[in-house]
Structure 1
Amino acid sequence: MSKVYKICVLPAAFLNHVFSGEIKLKFMAKIKTSYRCTNCSYQSVKWIGCCPSCNEWNSFSESVDESSEIGVSKKSGNATNLKLFKLEDIKIDSQTRMVSGVKEWDNVLGGGVLPGSFIILTGDPGIGKSTLLLQIADKISQNKKVAYFSSEESLEQVKGRSVRLGITSTNLLFSDQSTLEDIIFTCEQLKPDLVILDSIQNCHISSQSHSYPGTVAQMREAAFFLMRFAKENNIAVLITGHITKDGQMAGPKVLEHMVDAVFYLQGEDRWQVRVLRSVKNRFGNINEVGFFEMHEKGLIEIGNINQYVLSEASYNPGSSLVCCIEGSRPLLLELQALCVDSKFGMPQRVVTGLDPKQVVLIAAILEKYLHIKFSTQDIFFKVSGGFKIKESSADLGIALALLSSYFRVTLPQKSVAVAEISLTGQIKPINQIGAVIKETERFGLESILLSKGQNVKTSCKNLGFQNVYELLGLFPEK
């Protein structure tokens, strides 16, 4: 028995539409599951205990991606012909930044919040991110409309915090919803000048019901939608984010690339000082810092941080004063060292506020050229006040603090040390010495310990050193 085949003939008009690109054939999206490292965004087809890229343990989370639609032609049915512009035809709209009046905040941001910008503030849990944003929102809402979405706290909790901070602005609107589609739709109707979302890890996208809030896929999509909303509507969006145990911003690395600015709020639990640091800023300087002090009524800005540090400084054996440049401002910081005979087979090295390798390196240089057995000493070193130093200009201050503790002799009072130390034991000049001199004279410091090769003009007494051998001249009795 012969088989009968049915032939379906498509109309010629339909085929013409298909091949001309006016009709796009769609296929059902396939759901693909992969695993992505939350620390460095390394992707794997299966779960891995230790990331081969950044060596982080237990950092992989499930990421679900849907494949995009497949078309039969190069031209998509939704595509439009783009209009290109010459530089001379592009008009720049001079936009006024939203100034809060909190100088430390405004200076770090480059003069205030720029309309249409996408900003993230991150920091340790309980460091004061929500408190700071609530205070900034209150200041800006005095003459602007601000929408505050708290996905981590209920409205009752937000009101309790607001009452404690003394916030009474009527232009500040609150919501505790966390669904991103509802947040964006509401803001498109409300047209606020500033949108604050606390936090992006708790933000939920309803269209991705297969993944939980805080996963790589959710955060990546949420950041993309918020960035597009900010640019298309010229509305500033300020979000908060969590950090990892290593102090880095949690989530996919692409999040840092999407936002216009990244700010860290740092500080120690036992200290009341909080440091607002600019890590990325497309509209201002990076490495700018602002200082706040935590009180019962919120964060109070510290306009004169150097006076604050000097009032707490102690002139005891093991203490030295250094001056480091953070962004555009010089900071006077106190270093404290404690050297004691080791009671263990392996001497301890406990360092806070500095790279431990920097302290170990300076101790090795002193042991090499001054024949001081730091290898048999337990070294405890810290930056007073919970601050952090990343500059090599503090090398001389580190060396003097170690020698002062070892010999049990105080350094000259009201003196500041600013110089680098090479591996050969040479004392090297530093950059931006003019700002250091100006700050030193401003606070009445009497002497500056620096390199002999540093050309300076100052009313302070200069104590120049060419190499580490000459440092022993500060300890004549030893």
Structure 2
Amino acid sequence: MAKNKTCYRCSNCAHESIKWVGCCPSCGEWNSFIQEQQHTALKLPSFSKTKCSNFLSAVGNDQTYAMSLLQDIVIEDQDRMCSSLKEWDRVLGGGILPGSFIILTGDPGIGKSTLLLQVADLIAQNNYAVVYFSSEESLQQVKGRALRLGIGDTRVRFSDQACLEHIVALCEKEKPNLVILDSIQNCYLSEQAQLFPGTVAQLREAAFFLMRFAKINKIAVLVTGHITKEGQMAGPKVLEHMVDAVFYLQCEDRWQTRILRSVKNRFGAINEVGFFEMQEEGMVEIANINQQLLSEVSVSSGSVLVSAVEGSRPLLLELQALCVDSRFGMPQRVVTGLDPKRVVLVAAILEKYLHIRFSSQDIFFKVSGGFKIKESSSDLGIALALLSSYFQMPLPQKSVAIGEISLTGQIKPANQIGICIKEVEKFGLENVFIAKTQQVKTSCKLIGLGSVYDLLTLFPEK
């Protein structure tokens, strides 16, 4: 008879402790330990003996366990499974590769299931066998969503099975090219049925089970995952290590825009982004996001355009600054979309060399559209926005600022300025503020700036 033993396991790194602790000694995460029941008589899944796991049965011959030289390994030509959603295919590196294990995560209700249902239908239209397992919704709910998306007549096969052994048995029967599982937190192994689905132990074993299934059979497995209240993927960190690719579906604070972001991708670029808009007919890709962003830009004091590169895509974003005399003992610094420390740093540099007392000003900063900028090439834009708001003078229309600012007040060249300038030319922007030492071929008017002292020449009346 199985003997139960209580233990505590970190939900972030799977570190185990005999008692609850506030801070994990392994990963440093706070309040991450959850109580679990260990069954000492319970064995881990034996893939060689699982009834419906023929794909994992070990073949006892010398060929199975033989070593290979690198030059003897043959790389097979594999076509990626593409959809007609160019934004999706580009973020994935050109499509889904056979044998890959991919996880898509995001906030509840953000559209993960909607996007995957559309992708499944589009890939099935390209003569690929696709099976869709919905462990969170009934088949009637899935059909209702499909009808709303206009894909009621699809070649995708559906099941609401949640047991992984039964899922594998159905896959052996259907012989699919792509398996979609929504979601991994609701699936379980029958040999660990005593554990609640979604626990650290279940997720770890389920991920290993699916990873071996994908690699041995060269079948792509795409699963959805939950996230924590901090916005990170739920489950042990080892889950991210097992999968080939991790994608986040995020929502910005502008209309119904969704951003598909690549965090890990063994078969493509990381930090690549794709833009979608949630509409009645489902996810609609936004091929030209900059056109929408620039349509909202207005010429006013404190406003300046900057160029930020997300993955391989340059974005033209508007920075908005507001400087007012402080009414409190401690001046406020309210920043949205930028690192607050970067704004404070740029303000300190301007105060040091230009003798403008930003220390007595409340500073409010915002990136329009709800986007987030992490690049240091936004330094020049931050400085110009602060000065424009402080002097209450707008910058010339159709102007973009691209450059870094050093602690000595020097304007430094920005990285990847070539693709930024091409995007600027594409939308007819005329003036580009850059470092004086940066050489760029362009039809735009380049305004070279050597140091923060040169910024005052842009505000001659002050």
Q: When the two structures are superposed, what TM-score results if normalisation uses the length of structure 2?
A: 0.90
Find the aligned partners of 1:88 and 1:406 in 2 and give their Cα distance: 65
1:63–1:216 contact (8 Å) kept in structure 2: no
* Percent of matched pairs sharing the same residue: 73
In 1, the alpha carbon distance for the partners of 2:461 and 2:405 equals 24
Deviations 1:161-187 (A, max 9, x none): 111111134321122222222212211
Bigger mean CA offset, 311-320 vs 266-275: 266-275
Q: How far off is 1:446 after superposition?
A: 0.2
> Aligned pair 1:111/2:67, yes or no?
no
Letter in 1 for 2:90: N
Correspondence list, 1:112-191, <5 A: 112-142=95-125, 143-191=127-175
Q: How far apart in 2 are the matches of 1:425 and 1:37?
A: 46
Which stretch of the first structure deviates more once superposed, 49-58 or 321-330?
Answer: 49-58
Deviation at residue 102 of structure 1 after TM alignment: 0.6
Select between 374-383 and 87-96 the one with higher mean Cα deviation: 374-383
Q: Describe how 1:314-393 pairs up with structure 2 within 5 A.
A: 314-393=298-377
Q: 1:194 aligns with which of 178, 181, 187?
A: 178
- Judged with a 3 Å threshold, the aligned counterparts in structure 2 of structure 1 residues 164 and 85 are, in CA distance, closer, same or farther, namely same
Match of 2:222 among 192, 213, 238: 238
For structure 2, the 5+ residue unaligned runs are 44-57
Aligned equivalents of 2:134 and 2:210: distance in 1? 15
- Partner in structure 1 of residue 51 of structure 2: none
Deviation of 1:51 (Å): 3.4
* Residue 283 (structure 1) shift: 0.6
Other-structure match for 2:248: 264
Q: Which residue of 2 aligns with 1:17?
A: none
**Does 1:35 pair with 2:8?**
yes
Read off the aligned partner of 2:321 and give its amino acid letter. Answer: A
Distance across 1 between alignment mates of 2:173 and 2:418: 52
Pick which of 468-477 and 218-227 moved more: 468-477
Find the aligned partners of 1:472 and 1:245 in 2 and give their Cα distance: 45
Alpha carbons of structure 1 residues 121 and 213: separation in structure 2 relative to 1, 3 Å: same
- Give SS of 2:263's match: strand
Gaps in structure 1 of 5+ consecutive residues = 1-27, 70-76
Distance of aligned partners of 1:229 and 1:65 in 2 relative to their CA distance in 1, 3 Å threshold: farther
Q: Which one of 213, 226, 232 corresponds to residue 210 of structure 2?
A: 226
Cα distance change of structure 1 residues 237 and 169 upon mapping to structure 2, 3 Å threshold? farther
1:179–1:376 CA distance, 2 compared to 1 (3 A): farther
For the aligned residue pairs, the C-alpha RMSD in angstroms reads: 2.3
Distance in 1 separating the partners of 2:308 and 2:254: 23
Match of 2:237 among 253, 258, 276: 253
Contact 1:63–1:217 (Cα < 8 Å) also in 2: no
Aligned partners of 1:391 and 1:260: how far apart in 2? 27
Tell me how far apart the structure 2 counterparts of residues 258 and 377 of structure 1 sit (CA, whole Å): 49
The answer on whether the counterparts of 2:247 and 2:263 sit within 8 Å (CA) in structure 1 is yes
Q: Structure 1 254/321 Cα, relative in aligned 2: closer, same or farther at 3 Å?
A: same
Q: Is the 8 A contact 1:64 1:217 kept in 2?
A: no
Who is 1:83 aligned against? 66
The Cα shift of 1:281 comes to 0.7
In 1, Cα distance between equivalents of 2:383 and 2:28: 33
Equivalent-residue separation in structure 1 for 2:32 and 2:355 (angstroms): 45
What corresponds to 2:50 in structure 1?
none
Change (3 A) 1:359 1:208: same
Query: Secondary structure at the residue paired with 2:140?
Result: helix
In the alignment, the residues of structure 2 paired with residue 34 and residue 348 of structure 1 have an alpha-carbon distance, to the nearest angstrom, of 46
User: Deviation digits for residues 119-173 of structure 1, max 9, x if unmatched?
Assistant: 0111122221111111111111112121111122222221221111111343211
User: Is the contact made by 1:267 and 1:386 (CA closer than 8 Å) also made in structure 2?
Assistant: no
CA offsets, 1:43-80, max 9 Å, x none? 433212333555544321235567798xxxxxxx9976
* Aligned partner of 1:214 among 163, 181, 198: 198
Find the aligned partners of 2:375 and 2:348 in 1 and give their Cα distance: 18
Contact conserved, 2:412 with 2:435, CA < 8 A, in 1? yes
Q: Answer yes or no: is the 8 Å Cα contact 1:138–1:169 preserved in 2.
A: no
**Number of the residue aligned with 1:304:** 288
| Secondary structure at 1:335 match in 2 | strand
- Contact 2:121 2:154 (8 Å CA) reproduced: no
* Aligned match of 1:47: 20
Deviation, structure 1 residue 386: 1.9
CA offset at residue 339 of structure 1?
2.1
The match for 1:274 is 258
Aligned match for 2:272, one of 288, 294, 297? 288
Q: Of the two, which has the highest radius of gyration?
A: 1
CA distance in 1, matches of 2:369, 2:117: 25
Is residue 409 of structure 1 aligned with residue 393 of structure 2?
A: yes
Q: How many residues align?
A: 445
Deviation at 1:391, TM superposition (A): 1.0
The 8 Å contact of residues 130 and 198 in structure 1, kept in 2 or not, is answered as yes
Letter paired with 1:310: L
- C-alpha separation between the residues in 1 aligned to 2:60 and 2:36? 29
Q: 1:96 aligns with which of 79, 82, 92?
A: 79
Distance 1:162 1:311, change over 3 A: same
Secondary structure of 1:187's partner? helix
1:84-140 Cα shifts (integer Å, max 9, x gaps): 122232221101100101100001111100111000111122221111111111111
